Amino acid sequence: MKETDMPAVLIGTGYVTNLQEEKAMLTEDVQRRIAASILEGIKEYLKLN
């Protein structure tokens, strides 16, 4: 991200060092909820700009 020539965002969605979070992040349900939340954030941002 340091040397990118375009706007960029880094999103941390959990900690793989936490066994419970790692197991959860491997499930399709949690991945879909994370993706939906990211999408909602993008839509909110675009509404404001």
Distance CA 38, CA 40 (A): 5
At residue 49 the predicted structure's pLDDT band, cuts being 50, 70 and 90, is low
pLDDT, position 37? 96
pLDDT, position 28? 98
CA-wise closest residue to 46 among 9, 12, 5: 9
Tens-place pLDDT, residues 1-28 = 778 888 888 899 888 888 998 999 999 9
Distance CA 6, CA 22 (A): 30
Mean pLDDT over 30-43 rounds to 95
At residue 44 the predicted structure's pLDDT band, cuts being 50, 70 and 90, is very high
Distance CA 48, CA 41 (A): 11
User: Which has more confidence, 39 or 1?
Assistant: 39
